[in-house]
């Protein structure tokens, strides 16, 4: 497998997954880079027991969970509500709000919805998080309901 091809195929997806966890642009970039350093180092040991994407998403999820655990051990800090980008268009603010809502979900729900947003098949999500495919389907439905409810609350207060 060609690392350059893997990197170009998965970088954006892994970055968005990390954003769903940490809602911090710079930290998400760092976690994405850390993920690909591990992929680079471990690629010769990849045994094709799962799809390459599943393996990479699992590495990224583990990196993000370690980062969250480290932050929780050191100090509770409120997650930022805005991405560090210049674009201030309406769509950008909606995306920022979505990342904020996702970052407030419990860890397993963040993993599941972030992978769902990356169009990862539910069978792969189940394999990544260690749940049954049926359980993943139910969780995705409930997570979407939670996010929709948060959006309704915001729009009714505006």
Instruction: For residue 93, name the pLDDT band (cuts at 50, 70, 90).
Output: confident
From residue 45, how far is each of 4, 29, 49, 101 by CA, in Å? 17, 25, 11, 36
pLDDT tens-digit readout, 29-75? 999 999 999 999 999 988 888 889 989 998 998 898 888 777 766 64
Number of domains in the chain: 1
Domain extent, residue 110, equals: 3-157
What pLDDT shows up at residue 75?
47
CATH number of the structural domain spanning residue 112? 1.20.140
More confident site: 131 or 99: 131
* Separation of alpha carbons 116 and 21, rounded Å: 14
């Amino acid at each position: 497998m060609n690392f350059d091809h893997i990197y170009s195929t998965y970088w954006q997806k892994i970055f968005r997954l990390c954003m769903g966890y940490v809602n911090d642009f710079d930290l998400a970039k760092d976690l994405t880079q850390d993920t690909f350093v591990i992929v680079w180092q471990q690629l010769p040991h990849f045994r094709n027991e799962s799809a390459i994407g599943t393996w990479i998403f699992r590495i990224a999820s583990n990196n993000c969970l370690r980062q969250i655990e480290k932050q929780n051990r050191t100090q509770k800090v409120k997650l930022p509500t805005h991405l560090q980008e210049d674009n201030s268009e309406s769509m950008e603010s909606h995306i920022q709000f979505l990342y904020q809502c996702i970052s407030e979900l419990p860890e397993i729900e963040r993993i599941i919805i972030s992978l769902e947003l990356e169009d990862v098949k539910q069978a792969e999500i189940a394999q990544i998080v260690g749940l049954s495919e049926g359980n993943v389907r139910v969780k995705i439905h409930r997570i979407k309901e939670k996010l929709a409810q948060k959006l309704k609350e915001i729009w009714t207060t505006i």
